[in-house]
Structure 1
Amino acid sequence: MTVEHRVRAARAEDMPAIRTVLGRAFHDDSLVRWALPDETTRDDVCAAWFGAFVDRYLAVGRVDVVEVDGEVAGVAAWRVPDAPDDHPVLASLPSVPGIVAAVVGPERTAHLFATLGGSSAHAPADPAVYLHLLAVRPGLQGRGLGSRLVSHGLATFDERGTTTWLCTAEERDVVFYERLGFAVVGQVPLDDAATLRAMHRAPRAPGLR
């Protein structure tokens, strides 16, 4: 049976499927397990937490999805450096910290976001695009869908001469991103649970991706 893949810009009506992909895909992610230790609520909280970011990036960033046989199977969400800081979506509820605080409490939430904020020390010196989220539905991982999503965005940013960067707490993902041209530039310890690695990628000329 032929499986058809298509990468396209996300639409508002994709959000239920996107949230579900995010919640399922990040269940065992090291950063998410550190932030949300309760497995019984993790998928729902992760879907709400990361879904709130995607809501914002639909308005002031870039979100791509990959379809498999007509259904959303993966998502890539990018934060762009020239996004307006006064867009109404940025003040909408639920807020990202509010979602997490409702589950783990305000004190723990403050610690989580202060720790994650340490990654800003490893941001590129010039304005750059940040790959905030990449997720593929479990069961379809390992088929090149994630690479297609990232490469689709990179093609645009390469044409614009824009640096891209990301952070990952998964050691196996470092090799994945290195194959796409990213390199580790710094680390942020997530207490004793994991290590967040910041990775940069310089723009490439056409034909050198």
Structure 2
Amino acid sequence: MGVAVRTADERDRELVVRLLDEAFQDDPVSGWVFPDPAQRRATHPKLMAAFLDVVLAEGRVDLAEDGTACALWLSVPAHAHPENGGEGDGEAEQGDDAAQLREAVDPENERVELIGRLTAGIHPSGRAHEYLWMIGVAPDSQGQGLGTGLVQSVLDRCDREGVAAYLQASSARSRALYERLGFALLERPLDLPDGPQMWPMWREPQA
């Protein structure tokens, strides 16, 4: 499916935050981070905004022209750890980033910090790659191929340039989508404490 795409900027911030919030309100990982539905409705947008601000500053946000889907990408050099805004390779720096995320989003919620630490801990290093941090599709537009269309153009470029890609699937449904796009499970799933699994997935460039 062809999707008309443009690069989002600060002027699109409110739109993209709303899109990500709506797309991930019922996501298993979001439900684990914010188990109380009222708390999730109130605070989840702040987490999405924090993630978006990192990518607007350091990466690229692809936005469907009609505003129904977006994808957040970071180009990660070898030996870097991009989670939570830090591209240093030290464990202390990753921990600082996660703690700052918690302080900015929900200081009383340790899971905001924990999700940052855990995802940073499984992010592969050693090879440059494109990191699909998040992809969100408006609930009314899901199941129409928008996510695939939005991601495929970047994967086509990865194939042309011989660059790998990485992501963390947060649901079985999204894992199946990414498998169809050529991603494969990297080692083993991440088991969130008393919560759902996440699937770190890697895609080698394809001929």
TM-score by length of 1: 0.80
Structure 1 gaps, min length 5: 87-94
What is the CA–CA distance in structure 1 between the aligned matches of 2:60 and 2:199, rounded to whole Å?
22
Shift of 1:112: 3.5
Amino acid at match of 2:120: G
Shift of 1:106: 5.5
- Are 2:71 and 2:135, in contact at CA under 8 Å, matched by a contact in 1? yes
Match of 1:99 in 2: 104
Q: 1:132 to 1:174 in 2, by over 3 A?
A: same
Q: 1:5 to 1:183 in 2, by over 3 A?
A: closer
Shift of 1:158: 2.3
Q: 1:203 aligns to what SS in structure 2?
A: coil
Q: 1:128 to 1:107 in 2, by over 3 A?
A: same
Report whether the alignment pairs 1:77 with 2:75.
no
Identity of aligned residues (%): 31
Amino acid at match of 1:184: L
Shift of 1:148: 0.9
- Number of residue equivalences: 188
TM-score by length of 2: 0.81
- Are 2:101 and 2:113, in contact at CA under 8 Å, matched by a contact in 1? no
- Are 2:133 and 2:168, in contact at CA under 8 Å, matched by a contact in 1? yes
Match of 1:146 in 2: 147
- Are 1:23 and 1:44, in contact at CA under 8 Å, matched by a contact in 2? no
Match of 1:115 in 2: 118
Q: 1:17 aligns to what SS in structure 2?
A: helix
**Equivalences for 1:173-184 in 2 at 5 Å?**
173-184=174-185
What is the CA–CA distance in structure 1 between the aligned matches of 2:159 and 2:46, rounded to whole Å?
31
- Are 1:53 and 1:96, in contact at CA under 8 Å, matched by a contact in 2? no
Higher strand content, 1 or 2? 1
Q: 1:8 aligns to what SS in structure 2?
A: strand
Q: 2:105 aligns to what SS in structure 1?
A: helix
Shift of 1:194: 0.6
Match of 1:192 in 2: 194
Q: 1:183 to 1:114 in 2, by over 3 A?
A: same
What is the CA–CA distance in structure 2 between the aligned matches of 1:110 and 1:144, rounded to whole Å?
33
- Are 1:127 and 1:163, in contact at CA under 8 Å, matched by a contact in 2? yes
Match of 2:31 in 1: 33
Structure 2 gaps, min length 5: 89-99
User: Quick check: 50-59 or 194-203, which moved more?
Assistant: 50-59
- RMSD between aligned alpha carbons? 2.4
